[in-house]
A and B are shown apart, each in its own frame.
Chain A
């Protein structure tokens, strides 16, 4: 069958089960858009290409599928870079199609030409420039395969206009591409090692990360913890991989982790770290991180091993398959924890939990941001898909919304991209139209991709924005308060639009709460309508995120606002 490049693109997308594209047209992709016009493939027209990538990213994080975007060459392509880098840092599978000038013009500084494969080389898992029509189908297939295999990541495919206009024979049964899937290799010796370490341990701890969610290994991890009564802490990216309502859950660790999680890390004698990369926001000073523990590190990417923290036993492998192997080994060899020592350990943790719980003070006058999040959790019974922006809003969400399911906390962890939450929520809502999808936002961040309210309005994508409006770039202000003697250099955001009017101008619903007594009403009202809603919560302006580990300190030394706890 003879098909044009543009037709082949849509055919392969269908084969790859891509059911939605987030995109923005332009000169070099006019032909592709013309083909889309004749096709029934769903396309969401965003208002900025960065929004397209974040939306595809949100879609991918919520579904575990590959997210797809389509943009034009030059500025369309460069506008995707922040989105691609965001996905790359968090290992999110995306395929980003960029238009390119015709091959005969490449290298001539043609109108809207830019070397996007060169620009994105360091922030993609891989990228391609399709040089001729014969390579097109196999390249697209390979791009999807690379995006989702091994440690996932974004792949960019640059499509010159002339290649897409050329015809060639297309035979879906006969597309050849390289296979990168590495077969899982069981490591029985290592399992025996883990067995011995676990047997010797009196204070075992599991640390779960984004790799558990990406590897769809939550069930195995949860089973391991519950069966052998091993408490669990997690990184930001790991939230939801273990039920937040479970008594064995200690909350997030690290800079804004719970006191008890950080104390458990500091005191444990065995740490099973799964799908994590020991980011510096998590470890505090490396020398004191889990200093008393034998550390086992399971990760699919060898380059994550011994990168930041030197571990006693690295196991390179798929998190799900490896945890299955481990569970089987422990069962077959009749591992049973020593009930007495395990109880002592869990009691010790509970003492820390009681000594310094996660808490805040809500009065009658001023809305506390944490209260808004807790109320949102209460009203949705936790059954919501939550995206966040970056800053205090993100940390409070991580602390105060209990995530019970994987793929329900969607946040830019590695890159920390302000402006991620709204377009990501749009992507999530496209995948789950019947679920509550809420962007917990900051007033600074929301203004970075506010134009996507128009996208939500156009397609009636009923995302809900819970704006924790403190009139500050709050997280930066917090650092200025703590480390720069309150010199609030360029962090005051009081000059901002009237968000309710702004929402209305975009054709969505705007609501506001200024008193604690209004919080529940506004949330209920916002959640109940099938339209996009922006809820502007005027929160306590100088609230800080606590507890906190100061940069360069051990995670056992936490600052708790006025009370200092040093151990």
Chain B
């Protein structure tokens, strides 16, 4: 069966160990979590987890069912099959040297990257977008010499209920 990336949105009761339960359930059954984002919703006691995992449709259905069994899980939604928007954020630090600072500044202007902090020795840029946009920017950032990078996991939102 064809393996592909699935984005799963999970609503949970915001209990101390709910994340451990979810990670444990999937890890213990041999499923991989590729990325994970967690935060509260408009209700403090309910959190949303957006998780990406790769697998066949059957595997992902099994993952959904296993998650549904958890007492603290309210709902599980595979966003891959419905229209949704996706965003990810990347923070990148580039070190500036006398040799590269001109090239870096030019690239920043050209690509309209958002600079968050800029100093004499480094600059930190923020990139937000969907996977294609992030990949596109990273391909251009890499030759400039990335010294550190942090990516959030993918977040997603359904267009309609």
The interface of chain A, by Cβ under 8 A from chain B, is 117-118, 121-122, 125-126, 129, 146, 151, 178, 180, 301-303, 305-307
Contacts and interface: CB of A to CB of B under 8 A. Distances in A.
B61 A121 contact: no
Contacts of B25: 122
A180 B71 contact: yes
Interface stretch (B62-70, B122-130, B136-144): B62-70
The 9 tightest CB contacts between A and B, nearest first, are A303-B65, A126-B71, A302-B65, A122-B28, A121-B24, A303-B69, A303-B66, A122-B24, A146-B71
Contacts of A117: 17
Contacts of A118: 17, 20
30 contacts: A118-B17, A118-B20, A121-B17, A121-B20, A121-B21, A121-B24, A122-B24, A122-B25, A122-B28, A125-B71, A126-B70, A126-B71, A126-B72, A129-B16, A146-B71, A151-B69, A178-B13, A180-B71, A301-B69, A302-B68, A303-B62, A303-B65, A303-B66, A303-B68, A303-B69, A305-B65, A306-B58, A306-B61, A307-B62, A307-B65
Nearest to A126: B71
Contacts of B17: 117-118, 121
Interface of B: prevailing SS = helix
Given A125-B71, A302-B68, A305-B65, 15 more contacts: A118-B17, A118-B20, A121-B21, A122-B25, A122-B28, A126-B71, A146-B71, A151-B69, A301-B69, A302-B65, A303-B62, A303-B65, A303-B66, A303-B69, A307-B65
A126 B20 CA distance: 12
A302 B61 CA distance: 10
Nearest to B29: A122
Contacts of B13: 178
Contacts of A125: 71
Nearest to B70: A126
Nearest to B71: A126
Nearest to B20: A121
Nearest to B28: A122
Contacts of B62: 303, 307
Contacts of B20: 118, 121
B4 to A, nearest CB: 19
B153 to A, nearest CB: 23
Interface string B58-96: 100110011011111000000000000000000000000
B111 to A, nearest CB: 46
- Please indicate which of the listed interface residues A117, A118, A121, A125 has the most CB atoms of chain B within 10 Å of its own CB: A121
Nearest to A304: B65
A146 B61 CA distance: 24
B106 to A, nearest CB: 52
- Please indicate which of the listed interface residues B17, B20, B25 has the most CB atoms of chain A within 10 Å of its own CB: B17
